[in-house]
Structure 1
């Protein structure tokens, strides 16, 4: 799967890629590098809300296989992301009971890939992620998804909260998967137009998002361990939605 995600090296090359509208997954920048052109690139990254991180030169050497990277390596996305408004509109034209999945900063690539795979298997109409903080659609994610990343529309937004408001405006109920509730997922009618939110591995769903959702729900935990892996929990919840929708 190495060729699923390509890389761009060099400051000018990355600037041109961003300006041309190329979908950039993440930009790695050399620590302590400073020049007018580097500052121009950094400003461009911020204005386009592209995920980035400052790393040692050794990592850039590994990413570029010691090519002349000039302190910058950008990963281009293996997929084309869709616009949220277009996703909602096109989905509602096809079905009156859409099922969306929102991921609030799921950062582990393999969890992300496994979630995409399950989403495709359960008929999810689209996955919505945040531009900053979510795992990239990398070769590892695509491999773990068994290619499902090419089949399920994925949308990137500045903030998950904005996506929640947009979905609610279309009468789509929001269900947040969280342990901070007594309500079980089995008690919620998932045959209605629904968007399910799964939180990050370490912090769960942002409290500000929990305040604006219609439903908070959890899975029963009968053992001593306090939580499930996010991809496992997501699978259990999506299959409950599937069970209700096909009336097993």
Structure 2
């Protein structure tokens, strides 16, 4: 993570929130007290920021200055609303392709997926406000700068985004091993949103119940699964193949 994406100090973080900075995550020292910290916690709660309560040792590693028990990371990317993303995508093509990441946790997987998605012409990436890998300097670097060239949207809940996409006549496809259908049986020539899941658990069951189709990549060896960024690339390029 680059130092330029990290701020620290209670008042500094409050000012960043008030000025509308793209705060990606806030780290708070456990058991802090005082009027300023209460003010900060109220603002964090109101805006529903991604927050972690951590020991002071963690904060000392994140910041070389007087952090006062608070460190925040600011995303180098400006996020779009889902309404803006979908409207713009349909203005460019009648068959947009979206990518939703359900609780992806590894920053470098995230960056690699962004890079592949941009290369495949994905019209937008949708990520959860909380619980996912941060879009920090490491992710941007791993994306080889592709993060600056593809719309990215944060939503409170992935399911809300799925419902919105359904109302926009976008078919929902989840990549999961919990099916007998392969990705090669899916018609990607339609407006499509692809859902990729967590590295360990895959796509959550609640989302699997929401999508139109569940599809898997065939695995012919003894290894039980692919790396999520590799799997995502394989599925996206099947979509590209069909659309060429």
TM-score norm. by structure 1 comes to: 0.96
Question: Quick check: 1:235 aligned with 2:233?
Answer: yes
Of 222, 225, 229 in structure 1, the residue corresponding to residue 223 of structure 2 is 225
**For the residues of structure 2 that align with 1:220 and 1:173, how far apart are their CA atoms?**
22
Name the structure 1 match of 2:29. 30
Alignment match, 1:117: 115
Aligned pairs for 1:99-138 (under 5 A) are 99-138=97-136
Q: Distance in 1 between matches of 2:149 and 2:49?
A: 23
Shift of 1:131: 0.6
Instruction: Give the TM-score of the pair, scaled to structure 2.
Output: 0.97
Corresponding residue of 2:39: 40
- Please give the alpha-carbon distance, in whole angstroms, between the structure 2 residues aligned to 1:46 and 1:160: 19
CA contact (8 A) 2:59 2:67 kept: yes
Q: CA deviation at 1:46?
A: 2.0
Moved over 6 A (4+): none
Larger mean CA deviation between 11-20 and 70-79 belongs to 11-20
The match for 1:164 is 162
How big is each residue's C-alpha offset from its partner over 1:69-100, in whole Å with a ceiling of 9 and x where there is no partner? 11101111110001110100111111100000
Q: 1:174 is matched with which residue: 152, 167, 172?
A: 172
Q: Which runs of 5+ in 1 are unaligned?
A: none
SS, match of residue 174 in structure 1: strand
Kindly tell me the number of residue pairs found equivalent between the two proteins.
244
Q: How does 1:73-112 map to 2 (within 5 A)?
A: 73-112=71-110
| Partner Cα distance (1:73, 1:12) in 2 | 11
**1:226 shift after superposition:** 1.1
Does 2:57 match 1:58? Answer: yes
Deviation for aligned residue 1:49: 1.5
Deviation, 1:45, is 1.2
Q: Deviation of residue 36 (structure 1)? A: 2.3
CA distance in 2 between counterparts of 1:39 and 1:182 reads 52
CA distance in 2, matches of 1:49, 1:116: 24
Structure 2 CA distance for aligned equivalents of residues 42 and 204 of structure 1? 32
Structure 2, gaps ≥5 residues long: none
In 2: Cα distance, 1:39 partner to 1:218 partner: 47
The structural deviation recorded for 1:207 is: 0.7
Local SS of the residue matching 1:239: helix
Instruction: Measure, in 1, the Cα distance between the counterparts of 2:68 and 2:35.
Output: 13
| In 2, Cα distance between equivalents of 1:133 and 1:202 | 14
